[in-house]
Chain A
């Protein structure tokens, strides 16, 4: 009996002595349980294809990576499904998709996709905790920082800025993962600089951040300037050296992706949208306000205490503000920097609370009280998030229009060699799982369509949205600087044939009614509420010989000229070449009104074989211009012709010098250089790992 009593006494004594560690564990588990209360396991582990917002459209790239790119030994590759083809994962962040694909070898891809899309939300509290630990904040500051990520995650004031759950559900899961890693990096970098250690870990974190989001990379880069603001010259040099080594190694590791990204930016469309914030409450909504009160207190105390760590966090906040204000000048979206401000204010708030409760006995109890209060506060502020989670993770298969949507996809079934399918833009598509449900046509039907996600990733996107505006009752017209057309089916049909579109999916009564006036369009199937039409006079080929000789257009702004050309139906049969050098005796022009019109006998016999990354064709018209209605990109190479020209609107043009021509998606010189640099980076990492004492000791054992 006495022995039992002693054991219990010892147990209680151990629990009491380790209460801070136990409270930390309890708080982290509770946060996870709180998140799981919303992201219900039965929903997350069900084998359905995630729907909702942009998230729905991210599934197709994940599947393409798993089923085509990875088996071909690549992560970046050509994807024909959207925008007349584009380089998938060259201009969008591949890491989360790699994670999905790798996980999918253990669990179904549908589940792997769901788990990775919520990963950032689960990582953020734990990264905040460890970031504060690395900065050597005392208990319970790390736990409080983790708890205060909850008001940020459950903030419903915006669903497009990034980091919070609504944004994650709307498709910005890469940003959420990147944000969590960036928070961890800030702590790790602070500790590394203090102790002049951890370059490998920090550069690896830079690598992870670069491959998950560029905005977080910009943010941590600017934040690191904090360590160069010193009075002591030696300290500046020492910090500069550490910072340079970290970022340089991070750059080497990520070079395989970042170098091609920066060297091929010309083949993207910029999107520097300036957000109008008309109320301060949008930036600091109710759910954050109580903690902001403590942030003000925390900041005042940090000045009094000269706490360098809070100044560092405050500097991060100022860095985010600076990036927000200068975003439009560097060609990025300003609003993506606001989540950093919101989050870092909460961390300063955690410090404020920490200082207050540190003046009481039993801070471990206070930490639990603060956690429960926060959870109750957050719960009382949550409104639509559970509904959005259900909508997304119940999947396409459980949506009201699933039966019709699937029937449309089944009817159109084909592959990348078939002509494309276009669909009318409509808010009503949401009943099928997302406003963007039909971007998943390549996933469900195998056929390529025009619209897609990652609209900055290709030079074809402005033309695709122009076509959308010509054939849709309601338009999205998302690209600033590229005005759209009024409804104009006649011009739209010309453009559709240019893009090798055979089928049209109509949703609105307006389109269904107006299309009846065209003899060259036939209703082939009605699957309520959709009509499917076939364009009868489409050539149903990706390779065509134009009716008129291409003209070399002299301009410094070919994107703008090509877009103007596209909107002029009287000249779109004269292709414009934008190669800069006249190496083929092209007729030249610098005015769209006076383009030379020289007819070509285009009565040619062409047979084509199209796969994801090759276009092979046999032609009877050697020496004549052949337009391939697939987006131009420098990685495309050709056999059977001298070179590939960029031709309007955004396609490829070749002049075959033999009957057999093959275009294939290959690698450029910068791609090889990038691989070399990344290999060098990983060699440095592994060399240093094996050289470290702890690994040597481990190997000796």
Chain B
């Protein structure tokens, strides 16, 4: 009787605290609008937390090419269901070619435990005139990139135009994923298709989560051209614990629990045999 009381109290306490441990999620969506500008541009951004837990220390910044500058915007706490809207000003000092330039939005925040998270969102700014890139591209054939510790991102680029292009390809990823190289250069003849490869590694990305990654393909002609390719990096669960496959460990655990349960009846069975 006393034993069952103990087990009951322990189980109640355990389940209460386990509930606490499992509560809460954060999911931030980012939308942005911008218009053609000549000196100073504005990127209007709206953030919405679709989860059920407030995101802490939220900051938004633009990842721009070296010809542009902008400031980081510190939002602070972002409560679920309460959207935040604001603007980031973009300045340029140089005389640039008109056209589209990448202005990827990097959102950083922390959860209640202080865990840092980040995400990138596709966005570009248009300086003086709109331009349409001749390069189309895709990441990993539009399939998810699986990543445990280290992995690769494959890009396919296709020049649909009639003239050769020297393009710069830059990766934009959340801070939890790192690349050995972020920038690569490529020459594409007219109608030519080429493949590129970036080595990436897990830098604190959560197992079981998917991360949105981007690459911007830029080149100069009569204007500046930018196009994007996007992909998903899925973080695979680490399959090993202390050199053992997790599945083996779970199997061992189940086996031990069964043996342990049977062990509890060991004496009783013997006693029953004896009484017979």
Q: Report yes or no: B207 in contact with A360, Cβ–Cβ below 8 A.
A: no
Per the 8 Å Cβ criterion, residues 374-409 of A in contact with B are 375-376, 379, 383-384, 386-388, 390-391, 400
Q: Report yes or no: A383 in contact with B243, Cβ–Cβ below 8 A.
A: no
Q: Is B123 an interface position by the 8 A CB rule?
A: no
Bound complex: CA A293 to CA B9 (Å):
10
Q: Report yes or no: A297 in contact with B181, Cβ–Cβ below 8 A.
A: no
Q: Is A361 an interface position by the 8 A CB rule?
A: yes
Chain B residues contacting A375 (CB-CB under 8 Å) are: 241-242, 249
Q: Is B238 an interface position by the 8 A CB rule?
A: yes
Q: Report yes or no: A282 in contact with B21, Cβ–Cβ below 8 A.
A: no
A31 vs chain B, min Cβ distance (A):
8
Per the 8 Å Cβ criterion, residues 236-266 of B in contact with A are 238, 240-243, 246, 249-250, 252-253, 256-257, 259-260, 263-264, 266
Q: Report yes or no: A390 in contact with B241, Cβ–Cβ below 8 A.
A: no
Q: Report yes or no: A362 in contact with B20, Cβ–Cβ below 8 A.
A: no
Question: Which one of B10, B113, B203 lies within 8 Å of A282 (CB-CB)?
Answer: B113
Stretch in contact with the other chain, from B11-19, B37-45, B129-137: B11-19
0/1 interface trace, chain B 13-54, chain A, CB 8 Å (1 if under): 110111011100000000000000000000000000000000
Chain B residues contacting A362 (CB-CB under 8 Å) are: 259-260, 263-264
0/1 interface trace, chain B 188-215, chain A, CB 8 Å (1 if under): 0000000000000111111100000000
A659 vs chain B, min Cβ distance (A):
55
Q: Is B222 an interface position by the 8 A CB rule?
A: no
Q: Is A281 an interface position by the 8 A CB rule?
A: yes
Bound complex: CA A359 to CA B207 (Å):
37
B244 vs chain A, min Cβ distance (A):
8
Bound complex: CA A369 to CA B7 (Å):
16
Question: Which one of A156, A352, A369 lies within 8 Å of B257 (CB-CB)?
Answer: A369
Bound complex: CA A386 to CA B22 (Å):
22
User: Whose C-beta in chain B lies nearest to the C-beta of A359?
Assistant: B3
Bound complex: CA A352 to CA B13 (Å):
11
Q: Report yes or no: B264 in contact with A30, Cβ–Cβ below 8 A.
A: no
Q: Is A111 an interface position by the 8 A CB rule?
A: no
Bound complex: CA A33 to CA B241 (Å):
9
Chain A residues contacting B181 (CB-CB under 8 Å) are: 400
User: Whose C-beta in chain A lies nearest to the C-beta of B182?
Assistant: A400
Q: Report yes or no: B249 in contact with A372, Cβ–Cβ below 8 A.
A: yes
Q: Report yes or no: A390 in contact with B7, Cβ–Cβ below 8 A.
A: no
Q: Report yes or no: B256 in contact with A365, Cβ–Cβ below 8 A.
A: yes
Q: Is A228 an interface position by the 8 A CB rule?
A: no
Q: Is B112 an interface position by the 8 A CB rule?
A: yes
Bound complex: CA A365 to CA B253 (Å):
10
With A37-B240, A362-B264 known as contacts, the answer to whether A390 contacts B17 (CB < 8 A) is no
Chain B residues contacting A372 (CB-CB under 8 Å) are: 249, 252-253, 256
Question: Which one of B13, B22, B242 lies within 8 Å of A297 (CB-CB)?
Answer: B13
With A294-B10, A376-B241 known as contacts, the answer to whether A387 contacts B202 (CB < 8 A) is yes
B60 vs chain A, min Cβ distance (A):
16
Q: Is B115 an interface position by the 8 A CB rule?
A: yes
Stretch in contact with the other chain, from A284-292, A332-340, A436-444: A284-292
Q: Report yes or no: B114 in contact with A157, Cβ–Cβ below 8 A.
A: yes
Q: Report yes or no: B266 in contact with A361, Cβ–Cβ below 8 A.
A: yes
Bound complex: CA A391 to CA B31 (Å):
33
Q: Is A34 an interface position by the 8 A CB rule?
A: yes
Chain B residues contacting A356 (CB-CB under 8 Å) are: 6-7, 10
Count of interface residues, chain B, beta-carbon cutoff 8 Å: 50
User: Whose C-beta in chain B lies nearest to the C-beta of A385?
Assistant: B204
Q: Is A158 an interface position by the 8 A CB rule?
A: yes
Q: Is A699 an interface position by the 8 A CB rule?
A: no
Q: Is A572 an interface position by the 8 A CB rule?
A: no
Bound complex: CA A279 to CA B77 (Å):
13
Q: Is B162 an interface position by the 8 A CB rule?
A: no
Question: Which one of A281, A282, A384 lies within 8 Å of B176 (CB-CB)?
Answer: A384
A100 vs chain B, min Cβ distance (A):
27
Question: Which one of A30, A359, A366, A400 lies within 8 Å of B180 (CB-CB)?
Answer: A400
Question: Which one of A37, A279, A387 lies within 8 Å of B242 (CB-CB)?
Answer: A37
Q: Is A675 an interface position by the 8 A CB rule?
A: no
Q: Report yes or no: B113 in contact with A379, Cβ–Cβ below 8 A.
A: no
Q: Report yes or no: B256 in contact with A391, Cβ–Cβ below 8 A.
A: no
A608 vs chain B, min Cβ distance (A):
43
Q: Is A355 an interface position by the 8 A CB rule?
A: yes
A84 vs chain B, min Cβ distance (A):
33
Chain A residues contacting B241 (CB-CB under 8 Å) are: 34, 37, 375-376, 379
Bound complex: CA A360 to CA B250 (Å):
22
Q: Is A368 an interface position by the 8 A CB rule?
A: yes
Q: Report yes or no: B10 in contact with A352, Cβ–Cβ below 8 A.
A: yes
Chain A residues contacting B14 (CB-CB under 8 Å) are: 290, 293-294
Bound complex: CA A359 to CA B264 (Å):
10
Q: Is A119 an interface position by the 8 A CB rule?
A: no
Bound complex: CA A400 to CA B66 (Å):
19
Q: Report yes or no: A376 in contact with B266, Cβ–Cβ below 8 A.
A: no
With A294-B14, A355-B6 known as contacts, the answer to whether A373 contacts B204 (CB < 8 A) is no
Q: Report yes or no: B267 in contact with A361, Cβ–Cβ below 8 A.
A: yes
With A33-B242, A356-B6 known as contacts, the answer to whether A289 contacts B17 (CB < 8 A) is yes
Q: Is A103 an interface position by the 8 A CB rule?
A: no
Chain A residues contacting B264 (CB-CB under 8 Å) are: 360-362
Q: Report yes or no: B253 in contact with A376, Cβ–Cβ below 8 A.
A: yes
0/1 interface trace, chain A 255-291, chain B, CB 8 Å (1 if under): 0000000000000000000000001011001110110
Q: Measuring CB to CB, which residues of chain B are less than 8 angstroms from any residue of chain A?
A: 2-3, 6-7, 9-10, 13-14, 16-18, 20-22, 66, 69, 112-115, 149, 176, 178, 180-181, 201-207, 238, 240-243, 246, 249-250, 252-253, 256-257, 259-260, 263-264, 266-267
23 residue pairs of the A-B complex, CB under 8 angstroms, read A34-B241, A37-B240, A37-B243, A157-B115, A279-B113, A286-B21, A290-B14, A290-B21, A293-B17, A294-B10, A296-B13, A297-B6, A352-B10, A356-B7, A359-B6, A360-B264, A373-B253, A375-B242, A379-B241, A383-B115, A383-B205, A387-B203, A509-B66
In the A-B complex, the 5 residue pairs with the smallest Cβ-Cβ separation, listed nearest first, are A384-B204, A293-B13, A286-B21, A33-B242, A289-B17
Q: Measuring CB to CB, which residues of chain A are less than 8 angstroms from any residue of chain B?
A: 30, 33-34, 36-37, 156-158, 279, 281-282, 285-287, 289-290, 292-294, 296-297, 352, 355-356, 359-362, 365-366, 368-369, 372-373, 375-376, 379, 383-384, 386-388, 390-391, 400, 509
Given contacts A34-B241, A369-B256, A383-B207, 16 further A-B contacts (CB under 8 A): A157-B114, A279-B112, A286-B20, A290-B17, A293-B14, A294-B13, A297-B6, A361-B264, A362-B260, A368-B256, A369-B253, A372-B256, A376-B246, A386-B149, A386-B202, A387-B201
